[in-house]
Amino acid sequence: MKISTKGRYGLYFMNVLASEYGVKKRSVKSVATERGISDLYLEQIVACLKKADLVKSTRGAYGGYELNYPPDEITVLDVFQAVGENIIAIELDDKDTKNERFLWKRIRDASHDVLRHTTLHDLENQSDEFDDYMFYI
Protein backbone atom coordinates (compact mmCIF):
# COMPACT_ATOMS: atom_id res chain seq x y z
CA MET A 1 0.00 0.00 0.00
CA LYS A 2 1.32 3.42 -0.90
CA ILE A 3 0.16 6.68 0.60
CA SER A 4 0.50 9.77 -1.58
CA THR A 5 2.15 12.99 -0.41
CA LYS A 6 -1.33 14.47 -0.16
CA GLY A 7 -2.31 11.83 2.39
CA ARG A 8 1.01 12.04 4.25
CA TYR A 9 1.02 15.84 4.47
CA GLY A 10 -2.64 15.95 5.44
CA LEU A 11 -2.01 13.48 8.23
CA TYR A 12 1.11 15.37 9.31
CA PHE A 13 -0.83 18.64 9.48
CA MET A 14 -3.58 16.99 11.50
CA ASN A 15 -1.03 15.42 13.85
CA VAL A 16 0.53 18.84 14.48
CA LEU A 17 -2.88 20.27 15.32
CA ALA A 18 -3.66 17.26 17.53
CA SER A 19 -0.42 17.68 19.47
CA GLU A 20 -1.37 21.31 20.19
CA TYR A 21 -5.11 20.76 20.61
CA GLY A 22 -6.59 23.31 22.98
CA VAL A 23 -3.23 25.05 23.40
CA LYS A 24 -2.56 27.02 20.24
CA LYS A 25 -3.48 27.44 16.60
CA ARG A 26 -1.06 26.94 13.73
CA SER A 27 -0.62 28.60 10.37
CA VAL A 28 -0.19 26.58 7.22
CA LYS A 29 3.06 28.41 6.53
CA SER A 30 4.59 27.49 9.91
CA VAL A 31 3.72 23.80 9.47
CA ALA A 32 4.93 23.78 5.86
CA THR A 33 8.22 25.38 6.88
CA GLU A 34 8.63 22.92 9.73
CA ARG A 35 8.08 19.98 7.36
CA GLY A 36 10.04 21.49 4.48
CA ILE A 37 7.19 21.43 1.99
CA SER A 38 5.43 23.96 -0.22
CA ASP A 39 2.97 26.09 1.74
CA LEU A 40 0.85 26.45 -1.42
CA TYR A 41 0.54 22.67 -1.73
CA LEU A 42 -0.25 22.29 1.97
CA GLU A 43 -2.84 25.08 1.69
CA GLN A 44 -4.67 23.01 -0.97
CA ILE A 45 -4.66 20.01 1.34
CA VAL A 46 -5.85 22.05 4.31
CA ALA A 47 -8.71 23.42 2.18
CA CYS A 48 -9.89 19.81 1.76
CA LEU A 49 -9.64 19.23 5.51
CA LYS A 50 -11.63 22.40 6.16
CA LYS A 51 -14.27 21.46 3.60
CA ALA A 52 -14.63 18.10 5.38
CA ASP A 53 -15.17 20.03 8.65
CA LEU A 54 -12.12 18.47 10.32
CA VAL A 55 -10.38 21.81 10.92
CA LYS A 56 -11.49 25.38 11.46
CA SER A 57 -9.63 28.62 11.01
CA THR A 58 -9.55 31.91 12.85
CA ARG A 59 -8.27 35.13 11.33
CA GLY A 60 -6.21 37.76 13.04
CA ALA A 61 -3.09 38.10 15.13
CA TYR A 62 -3.91 35.02 17.21
CA GLY A 63 -5.48 33.16 14.31
CA GLY A 64 -4.61 29.96 12.56
CA TYR A 65 -5.96 26.46 12.21
CA GLU A 66 -7.15 24.10 14.90
CA LEU A 67 -9.00 20.80 15.01
CA ASN A 68 -12.76 21.05 14.86
CA TYR A 69 -13.10 17.96 17.08
CA PRO A 70 -10.99 16.37 19.82
CA PRO A 71 -8.13 14.16 18.54
CA ASP A 72 -9.83 11.02 19.82
CA GLU A 73 -12.80 11.69 17.52
CA ILE A 74 -10.85 12.03 14.26
CA THR A 75 -9.60 8.88 12.57
CA VAL A 76 -6.85 8.43 10.02
CA LEU A 77 -9.55 7.28 7.60
CA ASP A 78 -11.38 10.61 8.12
CA VAL A 79 -8.22 12.48 7.17
CA PHE A 80 -7.44 10.31 4.14
CA GLN A 81 -11.00 10.53 2.86
CA ALA A 82 -11.02 14.31 3.30
CA VAL A 83 -7.93 14.78 1.14
CA GLY A 84 -9.06 12.25 -1.47
CA GLU A 85 -6.49 9.61 -0.60
CA ASN A 86 -7.39 6.45 -2.48
CA ILE A 87 -5.79 3.55 -0.68
CA ILE A 88 -5.53 0.44 -2.76
CA ALA A 89 -3.99 -2.58 -1.09
CA ILE A 90 -4.05 -4.76 -4.20
CA GLU A 91 -5.10 -4.02 -7.77
CA LEU A 92 -7.49 -6.70 -9.00
CA ASP A 93 -6.62 -8.55 -12.17
CA ASP A 94 -9.03 -10.33 -14.52
CA LYS A 95 -6.96 -13.48 -14.08
CA ASP A 96 -7.15 -13.52 -10.28
CA THR A 97 -8.66 -16.72 -8.98
CA LYS A 98 -11.51 -16.83 -6.49
CA ASN A 99 -8.97 -17.69 -3.77
CA GLU A 100 -6.74 -14.75 -4.68
CA ARG A 101 -9.68 -12.34 -4.67
CA PHE A 102 -10.66 -13.66 -1.24
CA LEU A 103 -7.15 -12.86 0.05
CA TRP A 104 -7.07 -9.39 -1.59
CA LYS A 105 -10.44 -8.59 -0.04
CA ARG A 106 -9.20 -9.60 3.41
CA ILE A 107 -6.09 -7.43 3.03
CA ARG A 108 -8.23 -4.48 1.91
CA ASP A 109 -10.69 -4.93 4.75
CA ALA A 110 -7.91 -5.25 7.36
CA SER A 111 -6.20 -2.07 6.12
CA HIS A 112 -9.49 -0.18 6.11
CA ASP A 113 -10.26 -1.42 9.62
CA VAL A 114 -6.92 -0.15 10.96
CA LEU A 115 -7.46 3.28 9.39
CA ARG A 116 -11.04 3.45 10.64
CA HIS A 117 -10.08 2.59 14.22
CA THR A 118 -6.87 4.61 14.59
CA THR A 119 -7.43 8.14 15.85
CA LEU A 120 -5.13 11.15 15.97
CA HIS A 121 -5.04 10.61 19.72
CA ASP A 122 -3.77 7.06 19.18
CA LEU A 123 -1.00 8.34 16.92
CA GLU A 124 -0.01 11.03 19.41
CA ASN A 125 0.38 8.49 22.19
CA GLN A 126 2.63 6.00 20.42
CA SER A 127 6.18 5.25 21.46
CA ASP A 128 9.19 5.91 19.26
CA GLU A 129 9.93 2.21 18.74
CA PHE A 130 9.29 2.45 14.99
CA ASP A 131 11.58 5.38 14.23
CA ASP A 132 13.82 4.91 11.20
CA TYR A 133 12.18 1.70 10.01
CA MET A 134 10.93 0.85 6.55
CA PHE A 135 8.14 -1.69 6.47
CA TYR A 136 8.14 -4.33 3.79
CA ILE A 137 6.10 -7.47 3.47
* CB 6 within 8 Å of CB 45: yes
Average pLDDT over the chain, rounded to whole? 88
Element holding 44 (H helix, E strand): helix 39-51
Residue 69 lies in a domain: yes
- Which range marks the domain in which residue 104 is found? 5-124
pLDDT range class, residue 126, cuts 50, 70, 90: confident
Residue 17 lies in a domain: yes
CB atoms within 10 A of CB 59: 7
pLDDT at 125: 84
Residue 45 predicted with pLDDT over 70: yes
Q: What is the mean pLDDT of residues 80-103?
A: 85
Residue 49 predicted with pLDDT over 60: yes
Residue 40 lies in a domain: yes
CATH assignment of the domain containing 33? 1.10.10.10
Residue 107 predicted with pLDDT over 60: yes
pLDDT range class, residue 127, cuts 50, 70, 90: low
**Residue 74: which of 110, 37, 4, 121 has the closest Cα?**
121
Residue 54 lies in a domain: yes
Residue 130 lies in a domain: no
Residue 137 lies in a domain: no
pTM attached to this predicted model: 0.85
- Number of domains composing the chain: 1
Residue 131 lies in a domain: no
pLDDT at 60: 84
Residue 45 lies in a domain: yes
pLDDT at 38: 95
